[in-house]
Structure 1
Amino acid sequence: MARILLLGGTEEARRVAEMLDEKGASFIVSLASASASPYPGPERRGGFGGEDAMVRYLENEGVEVVADATHPFAAEISPMAKRAAKRAKVRYLRLERRPWRRSAADRWIDVRSLEEAAAALDNGSDVFLTVGAHSLQPFLMRRDLRLVVRTIEKPDLGTRRDVTVIRDRGPFSIEDERALFARYQFDAMVTKNSGGDATAAKLVAARERRMLVYMVQRPRGQPWVNCRTPEQLVRRLRWYI
């Protein structure tokens, strides 16, 4: 039994778990990925099997509040979690980090989707992709592009054998990003507007090189954000600790 269900997968969620663990709270962390690094406290891994199954889980486990600290681009789990919480008559709170904001020196092109970004890239471009291991298909279909992919998980490249893959996890320093950009001489970068500090150095490196950045905007229809920092979320959870 756990009073708090923490939906994780971000550094913010890890910090929330650390603080809840320090306070001796009754909570469980839910992680969608089986390969995610361990969190403090008890865990469950994998999906819930749909909204009805999540409602049953909340009721059977005696959950009193769902603390959603998933990734800003987790477009399916957050709306489902809010609906499930409402049906199970438990509270729902959402933590989402602030998006990045462009500066006057940035050369960003805002796009609504990965497909729009892939279609907009100039023929024959050298492209740096930091969109996640499961978001590459629109770019892999562009055989004219020379792609460098940085991802935590191993990507499925299909039949492409000419893609450079860098397996790494942030945070990344500005010095490292400058060296990476100098090595590959990218024409453009495609990234999701995830926000946060862990991977923001790439934006500085791109700005310094006056490089085009195709910035994929956050999905629409996400639940209302209650908190912007782990500390704010833990304060909102104080009645359940």
Structure 2
Amino acid sequence: MILVLAGTADARGVIGTLKAEGYRVAASAVSGYGARLAREAGADLVHEGPLGEEDLLAFLKDHGVRAVIDATHPFATAITGAARQACRTLELPYFRYRRPEVKLPSHPALLPAASFDEAAALASRGQVIFLTTGTRHLECFTTAPALAGKRLVVRVLPEETSLARCRQLGIWPGDIVAIQGPCSYELNQALYRQFKADVVVTKDSGTTGGVVEKIQAALDLGLTVIVIRRPSEPDSLSLAEIIPMLGEVLER
């Protein structure tokens, strides 16, 4: 059994490829959406809900997992760290899937940020900040002194936990856009216009995350775009690299 840490559209391709190679596949996803994608891709077993390090260790042991492929979001650093540690503990092969990166355009209105806190500081140049960064780091923006008095519009997944987090942090319901992405260029522009945004904040989440459409739609409207760089993962691999390596380690 191979465990795919899922939750993204990328994981669907990873699971499908593993099944085509003849592997039995288990998948884990935090959200119902991610779990549904894993089932649709043909996973033999799907765990829905968060897995802490101890839970993950138990899952790996109980289901006889022989290797782990981490296809979570590039910014899902907590589960990635837990998975690395669990695999070290059990001496299991661990592979970090690398989502294809986007070559960002060179544009004076496109500003890179090394962290969410830096992005919040840069966003203060606007009055209406449209956040497409999810809820995990939303507090970096709602508590940033530089953004006091600014209007924050947040685009989040249509999940109860996401909506509850927004309300907990004081986001007015009229400033919550609950929608499952990725969104088209046209829809992104319509949303920016609807809320009269002058700054858009996004993450460098790769082609699968629809970041190209988010950025280009904003730049073409003359908006400032702040892009949070993804964490460095020098050992990450493409799926084409993972598959032969997986076969080699499982034959030992």
Q: Aligned-residue CA RMSD in angstroms?
A: 2.6
Aligned ranges 1:52-63 → 2 under 5 Å: 52-63=54-65
Greater percentage in helix: 2
Cα 1:118/1:69, change in 2 over 3 Å: same
Partner-residue secondary structure (3-state), 2:68:
strand
AA of the residue aligned to 2:231: P
Cα deviation per residue 1:30-89 (whole Å; 9 max; x = unaligned)?
112355341222111233332x55344323432111111011001122132123212212
CA–CA distance in structure 1, aligned partners of residues 108 and 204 of structure 2 = 14
- Determine which of 155, 176, 185 is the counterpart of 1:165: 176
CA–CA distance in structure 2, aligned partners of residues 119 and 91 of structure 1 = 40
Q: Which residue of 2 aligns with 1:175?
A: 186
AA of the residue aligned to 1:46: G
Between 1:16-25 and 1:167-176, the stretch displaced more is 16-25
- Determine which of 195, 214, 237 is the counterpart of 1:184: 195
State the 1:104 CA deviation. 2.2
CA–CA distance in structure 2, aligned partners of residues 173 and 117 of structure 1 = 24
CA–CA distance in structure 1, aligned partners of residues 213 and 245 of structure 2 = 31
Q: Which residue of 1 aligns with 2:154?
A: 149
- After the TM superposition, which parts of structure 1 deviate over 6 Å for at least 4 consecutive aligned residues? none
1:43 aligns with 2:46: yes
CA–CA distance in structure 2, aligned partners of residues 162 and 49 of structure 1 = 31
AA of the residue aligned to 2:223: M
Higher relative contact order (CA 8 A, sep 6+): 1
State the 1:121 CA deviation. 2.5
Aligned ranges 1:68-217 → 2 under 5 Å: 68-105=70-107, 107-122=109-124, 125-141=127-143, 142-152=147-157, 153=159, 154-155=162-163, 156=165, 157-158=167-168, 159-161=170-172, 164-199=175-210, 200-217=212-229
AA of the residue aligned to 1:146: R
Q: Which residue of 1 aligns with 2:26?
A: 28
TM-score, normalised by the number of residues in structure 2: 0.81
> In 2, are the aligned partners of 1:16 and 1:233 still within 8 Å (CA)?
no
Q: Which residue of 2 aligns with 1:8?
A: 6
Count of residue pairs brought into register by the alignment? 235
Between 1:16-25 and 1:206-215, the stretch displaced more is 16-25
What are structure 1's unaligned runs of at least 5 residues? Answer: none
AA of the residue aligned to 2:217: A
CA–CA distance in structure 2, aligned partners of residues 203 and 67 of structure 1 = 30
- Determine which of 211, 220, 226 is the counterpart of 2:237: 226
TM-score, normalised by the number of residues in structure 1: 0.84
Partner-residue secondary structure (3-state), 2:4:
strand
What are structure 2's unaligned runs of at least 5 residues? Answer: none
- Aligned residues: percent identity? 29
